[in-house]
Structure 1
Amino acid sequence: MKGLYLVEPVVAIYSFASFMVYPLVQQYVYRRLWLEITNSPYPVSDNSSRCASNSSNHTSQQDEVQKAASLFSLYSNLCSMIPSLLVTLLLVAYSDQRGRKITIIMPLIGSLIYTLSLLAVSFFELNLYLLIAASFVSALFGGIGTMLGGCFSYVADLCEDGKQKTLRMATVDMVIGLLAGVASISTGYFLRASGFNWPFFTSAIFQVVNLLYAIFILEETKVIDRSETVACCRTLQKLVSGIYYLFFGGNRRSWILVLMIVIFTSISFANTGGLSMMTLYELNEPLCWSEVLVGYGSAASLTVFITSFVGVYVFSRCLPDITIAFIGMLSVFIGMVMIAFAKTTVMMFLVRIPTMFAIMPFPVLRSMMSKVISKSEQGSLFACVAFTENMSSYVASAVFSSIYAATVAWCPGFVFLLGAGLCLIPVSLLGILRCFHPVDSNETEALLSDDETENSDDAPVA
């Protein structure tokens, strides 16, 4: 059977299966902690709000549960952060030598392990903190950063034209949002109709199907010489030297890549940190959303992937990449500020409007970085991009979780104002990049050509 060069189905199924679980994990932990802390059943209602009581005792208990849930999220992120980061860096960089599929298959195995662990904890009512151990084990196989790093490297292998590369990467981001949105809408009804077990089981089935597609149908883009055997130490040395030369080669290209990595990481930190607290914020007073509203809210948030793709498609015809990234960062800033002051359900849904272009900076910056390096360095680049993105996501979730736990009693929206303030850092750096090192299509081609000449003359012999 002839394989397919389509990585989008892998991303689509992974997104659907993962976002069927992600909104439920926080809700499941929240309900278990509610039961343990308050010694009373979780208040489930058919109404849009579950704030039936406004007594001081009820408010105190809810604040305590909020703090415990945010700290649980902090511990889980910390346990999975280090192994996931290391595996991401090594696997995606290694894909330059031995193919991209390993970076896709390994995270799918880890995700399946975590989902099955979640199902076991829920079905047998095991100790809640076993989920932290499951996070650590699954991180040993890589995480979403590993898979996306492999997928973007896969796309870069297939695309010759710079504009095609930008649109194809934006398409991958759009697929994530589209399928995640469908999963988020169905999750609330699924939870209400059948509890937690069936959604976890359904997610596991989808992940098995996805794993089979990645192993047996997805075609490899890299030509692998099976007869070549390289010692482990030699392989690691080549990986480290390749990454070092890419970012610390002492040339203009390296300076631009480092600056763009910092911009990418800082906007990812602000965006991920704020959004990681959305579900807890919606469950808290005065919103007190039900599981159905949480699902609709997640779906509404994820439509930003579709609108951002449309924005990239339209704006790329008339605007430079840096301007498109700036519009996206401004969208994140305005959305964060509005979320901090949203106190009604209608207002909470309306804040999704100014955030419609919030994802645009990510595919644009990836494409900008990919354009200034050769095809043989794509894995090293996206290993570093995935590493920094993964690290910023974990650190942001940990930092924002701890800050939310400390500020939820007096200002639940403080973390979103913090996220908005942090958006000013990548905006300023983007201005520096634009003023001193404008990166248009002609200049990037010249930059790549010059660097290839330097590399052939000065690079150390392997």
Structure 2
Amino acid sequence: MECAPVHHALGKWLLYLNLNAEVLKGILHTIRMKGLFLVEPVVALYAFSSFLIYPLVQQYVYRRLWQELTNTTYPDSGNTSRCVTNTSTNQSSYHEVVQRQASLFSLYTDLFSTIPSLIVTLMLVAYSDRGGRKITIIMPLIGALIYALAFLTVSYFELNIYLLIGSSLLSSLFGGLGTFLGGCFAYIADLCEDGRQKTLRMAGLDMMIGLLAGVASVSTGYFLRAAGFNWPFLTCALCQCLVILYTIFILEETVKKTHADAVHLDGSTQSTALKQMIYGVYKMFLGASRRCKIILILLMLIFTSFSFTYVGGISMMTLYELNEPLCWTEILIGYGSAMSTTVFLISFVGVLAFTYCGLPQLLIVLIGILSVASGMVMVAFTKTTLQMFLGRVPMLLSIMPFPVLRSMMSKIISRSEQGALFACLSFLDSLTNNVSTAVFNSVYASTVAWYPGFIFLLSAGLCVIPLFFLGVVGLIGVDVAKESEEDPVEDQNENSPLLS
């Protein structure tokens, strides 16, 4: 008799848990039924986790190479510049040797991972026109998780540092940043019909990257100072797991496959998928008028040439800051990286303001290119910490050309070829980014001994190339976007949920 109240209470508790489980299941079912077309949280978490360790990667490689090449411990001087306490001739020669080897290490990493990443990017994003956008988002997330776990393993067990090159190659087989962004931008293009809305939504993705990347970059220095390298790598891996679960179970697909498409895709071979990819790209150019083709090619040339100059210069910032006469600590590098990523937020505000003011899109692109050129020239002549921070100020609008150019190209192409378009853009973006990083690392390794700032003057000078193509577009095709809206290409994407 004494056990009856206990059994009764236990039964009520189990019933309560069962009801709560049913409620939770119902909520999840409702989310799945209604569909959640928000890719911004995916981009936000991906940006946070990536930029949490991105400043650490070069620092970790730099410190390991310092220990291996000099047989001395890495100098640490608290919150002040290491150059204040290390001014001997040996320290200066050590910096030159380690700088050269660190840049070559980055060169080898990029060379080994470029080709697999490019092939996967082109195939996956083009395939997404029929197979769905989510695969182009999930695969790079898995690759990023592998990359973070590899760094954690090498750091925790102090394995050979050159194993990181192999991990970079392995993660590139799942795609890369180009694949991820290509899928996300194609996802946005599926949801937006209005040209202005598409421009602002794409600029919003860039802003989301900058906002979360800035928070992560500020945290990186303090995280490293307090817990070392292992905990940031572990935190990045956990964030990647979280965003993978969100993408798989919550994010809805924008491309709905019919039964016939599913049977065809499930039975297709790799060669068939490759043919479909090539046909999708061919059809993209075939469907546009001759003038639109010319403008599309010119816009792609502006996009890739500007990406080459911008990414190449930005990729050398951390090595330049670690070198004399700056010799920044991890705290200062974190603040510098955060200021670099705030350009995404400021550029979004710039695109938003200029768009609502009716400023021509080509003029917005021009402002962004000039922003990069002026900032790189200032950075090339910096000698103090204050000058380095001030040199980043002119580059606060440097991201504006990317969403504007993507939107302009997306207006020319019909909705059924959006995946093919962003596959081309992602392929070209990944190619130019990897090639530019390799080229700039090689040039920096050759010029660091006599003038480290030369690399930024080179970046500023190369801005002439996108400016030239921009002038050509301004002369022959200012009103292409308007023409494409008045006479749009026939849309054949009947599987889009927006049309059903």
Question: Which TM-score tier does this pair reach, normalised by the shorter chain?
Answer: over 0.9
1:116 match: 149
Q: Is the 8 A contact 2:127 2:276 kept in 1?
A: no
In the TM superposition, residue 184 of structure 1 has moved relative to its aligned partner by 0.3
Which runs of structure 2 are paired with 1:111-260 in the superposition (5 Å)? Answer: 111-228=144-261, 229-230=263-264, 231-232=268-269, 233-247=271-285, 251-260=290-299
2:15 match: none
Deviates more, 1:229-238 or 1:370-379: 229-238
Q: Is the 8 A contact 2:326 2:385 kept in 1?
A: yes
In the TM superposition, residue 78 of structure 1 has moved relative to its aligned partner by 0.6
1:352 match: 392
Q: How many residues align?
A: 451
Is 1:37 the equivalent of 2:63? no
Deviates more, 1:422-431 or 1:237-246: 237-246
Amino acid at match of 2:344: F
> Alignment partner for residue 448 of structure 1, among 479, 482, 488?
488
Partner of 1:46, secondary structure, is: coil
Amino acid at match of 1:291: E
Instruction: Determine the C-alpha separation between the residues in 2 that align with 1:439 and 1:268.
Output: 24
2:425 match: 385
Q: Is the 8 A contact 1:92 1:382 kept in 2?
A: yes
Which of 1 and 2 has greater Rg?
2
Q: Is the 8 A contact 1:320 1:440 kept in 2?
A: no
Q: Tell me: CA distance 1:62–1:156, structure 2 relative to 1, closer, same or farther (3 Å).
A: same
Give the unaligned 5+ runs of structure 1: 454-462
> Alignment partner for residue 21 of structure 1, among 40, 53, 60?
53
Which runs of structure 2 are paired with 1:252-271 in the superposition (5 Å)? Answer: 252-271=291-310
Amino acid at match of 2:48: F
Calculate percent identity across the aligned residue pairs: 61
In the TM superposition, residue 53 of structure 1 has moved relative to its aligned partner by 2.2
Q: Tell me: CA distance 1:37–1:234, structure 2 relative to 1, closer, same or farther (3 Å).
A: closer
Q: Is the 8 A contact 2:412 2:481 kept in 1?
A: no
Q: Is the 8 A contact 1:247 1:255 kept in 2?
A: no
Is 1:311 the equivalent of 2:350? yes
Instruction: Determine the C-alpha separation between the residues in 2 that align with 1:434 and 1:156.
Output: 25
Partner of 1:42, secondary structure, is: coil
Amino acid at match of 1:89: L
Instruction: Determine the C-alpha separation between the residues in 2 that align with 1:225 and 1:254.
Output: 31
In the TM superposition, residue 242 of structure 1 has moved relative to its aligned partner by 1.9
Deviates more, 1:313-322 or 1:264-273: 313-322
Q: Tell me: CA distance 1:248–1:342, structure 2 relative to 1, closer, same or farther (3 Å).
A: farther
Instruction: Determine the C-alpha separation between the residues in 1 that align with 2:143 and 2:315.
Output: 21
Deviations 1:215-274 (A, max 9, x none): 000000011124432322333222202202323677222221111111100000000000
> Alignment partner for residue 458 of structure 2, among 418, 429, 448?
418
2:9 match: none
Amino acid at match of 1:215: I
TM-score relative to the length of structure 2? 0.88
2:434 match: 394
Deviates more, 1:137-146 or 1:351-360: 351-360
Instruction: Determine the C-alpha separation between the residues in 2 that align with 1:447 and 1:428.
Output: 28
In the TM superposition, residue 447 of structure 1 has moved relative to its aligned partner by 5.2
Amino acid at match of 1:236: L
Q: Is the 8 A contact 1:12 1:176 kept in 2?
A: yes
Deviates more, 1:298-307 or 1:227-236: 227-236
Instruction: Determine the C-alpha separation between the residues in 2 that align with 1:444 and 1:315.
Output: 21
Instruction: Determine the C-alpha separation between the residues in 1 that align with 2:315 and 2:479.
Output: 32
1:457 match: none
In the TM superposition, residue 433 of structure 1 has moved relative to its aligned partner by 0.2
Q: Tell me: CA distance 1:35–1:57, structure 2 relative to 1, closer, same or farther (3 Å).
A: same
Q: Where has structure 1 moved over 6 Å in runs of 4 or more? A: none
In the TM superposition, residue 351 of structure 1 has moved relative to its aligned partner by 1.4
> Alignment partner for residue 280 of structure 1, among 312, 319, 325?
319
> Alignment partner for residue 119 of structure 2, among 83, 86, 109?
86
Instruction: Determine the C-alpha separation between the residues in 2 that align with 1:247 and 1:70.
Output: 39
> Alignment partner for residue 444 of structure 2, among 404, 410, 413?
404
1:338 match: 378
Instruction: Determine the C-alpha separation between the residues in 2 that align with 1:107 and 1:225.
Output: 26
Q: Is the 8 A contact 2:121 2:427 kept in 1?
A: yes
Instruction: Determine the C-alpha separation between the residues in 1 that align with 2:128 and 2:259.
Output: 14
Partner of 2:80, secondary structure, is: coil
In the TM superposition, residue 333 of structure 1 has moved relative to its aligned partner by 0.6
> Alignment partner for residue 47 of structure 1, among 79, 86, 100?
79
In the TM superposition, residue 441 of structure 1 has moved relative to its aligned partner by 4.1
2:38 match: 6
In the TM superposition, residue 440 of structure 1 has moved relative to its aligned partner by 5.3
In the TM superposition, residue 448 of structure 1 has moved relative to its aligned partner by 3.0
